[in-house]
Chains A and B, each alone.
Chain A
Amino acid sequence: VLPRGTRWRWPVAALAAMVLATAAAPATAQQESGAAFPSGTWAGSATYLGALDTGSVSAFADSVINFRMLVSSGQVASGTIAMIGSSHSVALEGGSADIAFAADGTLSGPATRVLITAEAVFSGIARVEGYEVPIDISMPFGGSFSPSWATCTEVGGDLATEGRDIAAAQGLQLDAEAIFLAMRVSDAGAEDPDHYIPKDYADLVDDLIAAQSGDVPTSDLVDLIRRVEELNAQIIGAAACGETPAGFEEGLVKDDFFLQQLKAIYDKILKSPGDYSTHEQIFLLMSAVRVGVIGASAPDQGFSDSALLLFEAALSDALAATPDGEQKTIVDIYIAAKQVGLTDLAAAAEARLG
């Protein structure tokens, strides 16, 4: 049987813990500002100060948060976070609690909203009417944080932004702030060779060459084109911060050797486009425009023009093979044709829809 009054232990302790826990809000509640961590290795820290007053219980907390992570292609490739803090709470009717908090976890997710997965330990003592009750709780701890601003070398924001909103939604007045500042300590490849552009480039070229001969599953070729897009995006991301490795300044298709290999893959795809679904064909066409192998600024205009015509013919066949009942697919072909400027295909699709 608990001593009389220990019912106060939990409100006092819970509020002490809550003030600490709002240092990073649940991922589902976090709002994105649009700012993102650029590629590279980032080291950041924040000092959290929070105060909560319910009228019957007051709690104060502080903690120090440190994190380090590798960002590549808009994603957190790896990262760790450590949070250490303490909290003191006092109940108006008597009683108090002192809680220490420690959490270690990993970081993941998009560079616009970094997700925290951690294990937290709350330990301390609650005092109620002369009794001391130990507190020792270990639990999973999740959260997220988003940058509110970002440059190529520094990123900042407030870890407690959403915590304040969550507390307010529960009718609690939380006064908290955890301004973080992160510095880029190295580029994306310095600490993780697996995400270094030249290595990715070499791997991709090897695979493009290997896929040019023999029977290669269509899904493998589609995946290969996806990898080309991903690497191109990685290069563009690096270029945004002026850190494009030498030789990559003008993008993948400006590299003549790479372009030759990519064209050979597109030639292979366009020899039997009927092996691909309609949406795969649209993806392959749009991807070619996105990467720059097709389009007004493509290095090889002859290839660009002929590939565009072949895609138009392939999608015309796909359109002819699409049953009338699959209206959505016909609309998809029509819109893609309109967007890219394939007028004959658009007219054929329009006729089917009309």
Chain B
Amino acid sequence: MKRALIHLMAVAAGVAALAGCGGPDSPGEDTLSTGDEFTASLGLEILELVGPAEERAGKIPVFEWEPVQGAAAYRLVVRNAAGGPIWAWQGTDTSVTLGGIDDRPPGAGGPVITDGSRWSVAALDADDHVTAISEERAVSP
């Protein structure tokens, strides 16, 4: 009986995992999405991400996205696998290197990408209201 219960719990956990019902910090629950009905109902434009590749992007990738008409600034946030912020940036460019330094000198400190990281970009208007949002895309070194 006990063994059957454990088996059932394992199956339930597996089904829950497949359905994306993980813990509070799991990407399935708190990841920013643009494809769902709720986000579509917000009336925001979709901001298209360009790069880097989701895998083998290097520890200090260059993030790039398509411009959004009328955007006064872009806000990028990079998070780690646990869901906490690693680094953020705001500016008018449509690309930025992690940490804000192109060709960061070897050995220099600063943020780096770890396995399971993800990033998203929001476009802001002149009043700091969000006008467009990207999906939250995975990026790993």
Interface residues of A (CB under 8 A from B): 34, 233, 236, 239-240, 242, 249-251, 254, 279, 282-283, 286, 289-290, 292, 294-297, 308, 328-329, 331-332, 334-335, 338-341, 343, 346, 350, 353-354
Cβ-neighbour of A343 out of B29, B103, B110 (below 8 A): B29
Contacts of B104 in A (CB 8 A): 239
Known: A290-B88, A295-B87, A338-B30. A331 touches B109 (CB 8 A): no
Given A289-B85, A295-B84: A249 and B109 within 8 A (CB)? yes
B residues 21-40 in Cβ contact with A at 8 Å: 24-25, 29-30, 32, 38
- Residues of chain B with a CB closer than 8 A to A328's CB: 129-130
Whether B32 contacts A338 by the Cβ 8 Å rule is yes
User: Smallest CB–CB gap between A315 and chain B, Å?
Assistant: 14
Indicate if the CB atoms of A289 and B87 lie closer than 8 Å.
yes
Task: Write out the residue numbers on chain A whose beta carbons fall within 8 Å of the beta carbon of B109.
Answer: 249-251, 254
* Chain B contact residues: helix, strand, loop or mixed: loop
- Tell me, yes or no, whether B111 is within 8 Å of chain A by CB: yes
Using A254-B109, A339-B122 as known contacts, say yes or no to A290 and B90 having CB atoms under 8 A apart. Answer: yes
B102 at the binding interface (Cβ < 8 Å) = yes
Q: Which of B44, B75, B90, B130 has the most CB of A within 10 A?
A: B130
Shortest B59–chain A CB gap in Å is: 12
A residues less than 8 Å from B108 (CB atoms) = 239, 249-250
Give the interface residue-count category, chain B.
35 or more
Q: Contact check: which of A286, A297, A340 meets B90 at CB < 8 Å?
A: A286
Contact across chains for A296 and B128 when beta carbons are under 8 A apart: no
Additional 8 contacts, C-beta under 8 A, given A240-B102, A295-B88, A331-B42: A289-B88, A290-B90, A295-B111, A331-B129, A338-B120, A340-B88, A341-B25, A341-B85
Cβ–Cβ < 8 Å partners of B84 in chain A: 295-296, 308, 341
Given the contacts A283-B128, A289-B87, A353-B42, A343 and B25 also touching, CB distance less than 8 Å: yes
Closest to A110 in B: B92
With contacts A295-B84, A296-B84 taken as known, whether A339 is within 8 angstroms of B120 at the C-beta atoms is yes
Interface string of B68-97 (1 = CB under 8 A from A): 000000010101101111111110010000
Residue of A nearest to B133 (CB): A335
Q: How far is the CA of A76 from the CA of B110 in the complex (A)?
A: 27
A34 nearest CB across to chain B (Å) = 7
Contact A279 B103 (CB under 8 A): no
* Interface status of B141 (Cβ within 8 A of chain A): no
Which residue on B lies nearest to A232, using beta carbons?
B100
What are the residues of chain B within 8 A of A290 when measuring CB–CB?
87-90
In angstroms, Cα B88 to Cα A339, docked, is 9
In the bound complex, do residue B30 and residue A296 qualify as a contact, i.e. CB atoms below 8 Å apart?
no
B130 touches A297 (CB 8 A): no
B101 touches A240 (CB 8 A): yes
Closest-CB distance, A309 to chain B (whole angstroms): 12
Partner of A294 from the list B85, B100, B128 (CB cut-off 8 Å) is B85
Q: Most chain-A Cβ atoms within 10 A of its Cβ — which of B77, B90, B102?
A: B77
The docked-state distance in angstroms from the alpha carbon of A315 to that of B100 is 27
List A contacts of B110 (CB < 8 A). 250-251, 297
**Would you call B105 and A239 a contact (CB within 8 A)?**
yes
12 residue pairs from A and B, CB less than 8 Å apart: A239-B101, A250-B109, A250-B110, A254-B109, A286-B77, A289-B77, A294-B85, A295-B85, A296-B80, A296-B111, A340-B88, A343-B83
B99 within 8 A of A: yes
Q: Are B79 and A341 in contact (CB under 8 A)?
A: yes
Residues of B contacting A335 in the complex (Cβ-Cβ under 8 angstroms): 32, 44, 122, 130, 133
A335 nearest CB neighbor, chain B only: B130
Chain B residues with CB under 8 A of A329: 129
In the bound assembly, the distance between CA atoms of A170 and B48 in angstroms comes to 37
Asked whether, in the complex, the Cβ of A296 is within 8 Å of the Cβ of B85, the reply is yes
B61 to nearest A CB, angstroms?
16
Q: How far is the CB of B5 from chain A (nearest CB, A)?
A: 30
- Smallest CB separation, B38 vs chain A (Å): 7
